[in-house]
Amino acid sequence: MPDYGFFIAHLRFVAAKTEVSTPEIAAMVAELGRIADEVEKTGETIVENDKLRVAARGLAGLAGFLQERILPEVLAAANSSGERQVRWVIDTSMGLMAMLTTHAETAMSDEPLALQLPPPP
C-alpha cells in the first residue's frame, strides 16, 4: 500500500484546527477525520451517499486552506519535497471533490462512492 501519511496528516491537521461553529462544519470535520482513518487503514475510502456533499465541501476547504496558508510558507522555505506533497494534496482533494459532487448530482441510487487515491508524489 502506498504511503499516504502526509495526506492523512493534512486531513487531521485541518480537521483539528477548524473552528466548529455550525452543525455543517462539524459534519465536514467529522468526515475529514473518517476519510483520514480509512485511508490510513486501506489506502482508499468509501463515502456514503448521504455524505457526498459534506465530504466534497470538506475536501474543498482542505485544498483552500493549503493553497492560502501552507503553500506560501512551503514556497518561501524552498522546500521542494514539501511543495510536491502540498500540491499533490491540493490537486487530489480538488479532484476528489469534483468526483463526489458529480456523483451526488448524477447518481440514480443510494450507492456509496469508492475513492481511490492517485499514487503519492
- C-alpha to C-alpha distance for 43 and 75, rounded to whole angstroms: 28
What's the average model confidence in pLDDT over 40-50?
A: 96
pLDDT in tens, 57-72: 999 999 999 999 999 9
pLDDT in tens, 73-113: 999 999 999 999 999 999 999 999 999 999 999 877 788 99
User: Could you tell me if 33 and 51 are in contact, meaning their C-beta atoms sit under 8 angstroms apart?
Assistant: no
Residue 1: the pLDDT is 80
Residue 21 in this model has a pLDDT that exceeds 80: yes
User: In the chain, where are the structural domains located?
Assistant: 5-116
Residue 110: the pLDDT is 84
Residue 116 backbone dihedrals phi, psi, to 5 degrees: -105, 135
Rounded to two decimals, the pTM is 0.94
User: Could you tell me if 100 and 113 are in contact, meaning their C-beta atoms sit under 8 angstroms apart?
Assistant: yes
Cell of 67: 493553497
- C-alpha to C-alpha distance for 51 and 38, rounded to whole angstroms: 15
